[in-house]
């Protein structure tokens, strides 16, 4: 049966497909035992290296920056991956075709695994939290980042006046205010940047970002030399313990001036959300053996609540379907978002579509 599944930030579609889980398991097992041949056998077509930290200087020399890798480089890349001993992370990527992995000394990466009807293959592997944003700074895991902390806490303490404001910032189905922030430190451990990647409200984004800017850390020293690094941190109010199944936000461009809000915190008043591909695209999927596509988009609202801009975060791989989705999203209307002075403002949010159909294309 053909079916369309729409999830706002994949709140209801975060379970990886069986092919994704199986591929990730084979990849981690192969790196754990250093089986170069097995790793190389998992690489097909083109693999995009989005940035990896290597302990081996020769690997750093061969793969110094983000780049697309062709089959002629797969053996060398497999040799370098074999030295990483990848492990599954306790954190979860919001997209079901992507897994979060970690390796010593605390590096956190993500791997996108495609299944286009001809078997699972690795499409992208690189630092977590900035897929397709080649800023070069390694991402480190929650545990590695917390081990560097000197002062501050991911849940506060917040000033009583600020905390009382957050009590009002609750998403419709959960009495909780939170923000995902990406915190970066330099080689001395000083916080150099804090970007809110997702928040339940503008107030939450501001308060939590301001709190994180006051944190202090020891330097991240992976091999005797301190290096700048970044980590994703989920800050909540009221405070709550770590959730082992933290679902990371979909990466978006942090340079945009508009705030990024959790979609559930917005009130959509018009627009169709179930958007299956047109018949020609469905036939093209069937002919190519494609049974599932995933597309993520960033939409920015103007002061009136209308969509003023739609950007592709993750293409479905089907240009006509991408165009169809962007066109439909552009017709969505939301209740205007107000700032802390009750003035309407422009904001952005994210949406992900997951569409599946049987290989024979039958409904």
Is residue 157 pLDDT above 90, yes or no?
Answer: no
363/242: higher pLDDT: 242
CA–CA separation, 357 and 363 (whole Å): 8
Residue 147 shares a structural domain with residue 223: yes
Residue 186 shares a structural domain with residue 118: no
Domain count, the chain: 3
- The token pair that represents 61 in the structure block: 């020399």
Residue 252 shares a structural domain with residue 152: yes
Domain-located, residue 123: yes
How large is the average pLDDT for residues 121-143?
Answer: 79
Residue 122 shares a structural domain with residue 146: no
Residue 207 shares a structural domain with residue 296: no
Is residue 362 pLDDT above 60, yes or no?
Answer: no
Domain boundary pick from 256, 281, 304: 256
Domain-located, residue 136: no
How large is the average pLDDT for residues 311-335?
Answer: 89
Domain boundary pick from 233, 256, 279: 256
DSSP 8-state assignment for residue 201: S
Residue 147 shares a structural domain with residue 103: no
Q: Coil, helix or strand for 55?
A: coil
CA–CA separation, 50 and 184 (whole Å): 18
Which structural domain range is residue 86 located in?
15-127
Domain-located, residue 302: yes
Is residue 356 pLDDT above 60, yes or no?
Answer: yes
Domain boundary pick from 256, 287, 309: 256
Residue 222 shares a structural domain with residue 272: no
Residue 273 shares a structural domain with residue 252: no
Domain-located, residue 363: no
Domain-located, residue 1: no
CA–CA separation, 129 and 109 (whole Å): 8
Domain-located, residue 73: yes
Residue 247 shares a structural domain with residue 148: yes
Residue among 91, 23, 97 at smallest CA distance from 295:
97
pLDDT for the residue numbered 7: 35
What is the tens place of the pLDDT at every residue in 173-214? 666 788 888 999 999 999 999 988 888 888 888 888 989 999
Residue 82 shares a structural domain with residue 123: yes
Domain-located, residue 9: no
Is residue 69 pLDDT above 80, yes or no?
Answer: yes
Residue 100 shares a structural domain with residue 150: no
Q: What is the CATH number of the domain that holds 276?
A: 3.30.2420.10
What is the tens place of the pLDDT at every residue in 9-22? 333 344 455 677 88
Is residue 98 pLDDT above 70, yes or no?
Answer: yes
Burial state string for 190-229 with b = 16 or more CB within 10 A and e = fewer than 16 = ebebbbbbbbbbbbbbbbbbebbeebebebbebeeeebbb
Using an 8 Å Cβ cutoff, are 191 and 213 in contact? yes
Q: How far is CA 343 from the centre of its chain?
A: 30
pTM: 0.81
Residue 191 shares a structural domain with residue 243: yes
pLDDT for the residue numbered 347: 82
Domain-located, residue 7: no
Give the mean pLDDT of the chain: 82
Q: What is the CATH number of the domain that holds 55?
A: 3.10.450.50
């Amino acid at each position: 049966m053909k079916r369309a599944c729409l999830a706002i930030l994949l709140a209801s579609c975060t379970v990886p497909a069986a092919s994704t889980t199986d591929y990730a398991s084979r990849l981690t097992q192969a790196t754990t035992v250093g089986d170069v041949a097995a790793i190389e056998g998992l690489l097909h077509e083109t693999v995009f290296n989005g940035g990896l930290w290597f302990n081996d200087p020769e690997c750093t020399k061969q793969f110094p920056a983000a780049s697309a890798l062709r089959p002629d480089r797969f053996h060398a890349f497999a040799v370098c991956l074999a030295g990483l001993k990848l492990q599954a992370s306790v954190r979860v990527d919001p997209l079901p075709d992507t897994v979060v992995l970690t390796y010593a000394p605390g590096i956190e990466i993500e791997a996108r695994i495609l299944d286009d009807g001809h078997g699972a293959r690795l499409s992208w592997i690189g630092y977590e939290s900035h897929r397709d944003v080649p800023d070069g700074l390694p991402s480190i895991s929650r545990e590695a980042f917390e081990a560097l902390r000197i002062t501050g806490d991911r849940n506060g303490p917040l000033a009583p006046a600020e905390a009382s404001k957050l009590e009002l910032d609750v998403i419709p189905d959960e009495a909780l205010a939170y923000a995902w922030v990406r915190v970066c430190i330099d080689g001395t451990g000083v916080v150099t940047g804090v970007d809110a990647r997702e928040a339940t409200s503008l107030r939450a984004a501001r308060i939590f970002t301001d709190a994180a800017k006051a944190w202090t850390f020891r330097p991240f020293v992976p091999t005797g030399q301190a290096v700048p690094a970044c980590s994703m941190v989920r800050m909540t109010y009221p405070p709550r313990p770590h959730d082992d199944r933290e679902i990371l936000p979909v990466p978006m461009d942090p340079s945009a001036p508009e705030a990024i809000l959790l979609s559930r915190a917005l009130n959509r008043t018009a627009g169709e959300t179930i958007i299956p591909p047109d018949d020609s695209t469905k036939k093209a999927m069937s002919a190519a053996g494609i049974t599932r596509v995933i597309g993520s988009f960033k939409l920015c609202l103007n002061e009136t609540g209308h969509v003023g801009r739609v950007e592709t975060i993750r293409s479905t791989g089907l240009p006509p379907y991408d165009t169809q989705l962007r066109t439909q999203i552009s017709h969505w209307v939301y209740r205007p978002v107000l700032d802390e002075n009750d003035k309407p403002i422009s904001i952005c949010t994210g949406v992900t579509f997951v569409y599946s159909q049987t290989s024979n294309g039958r409904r």
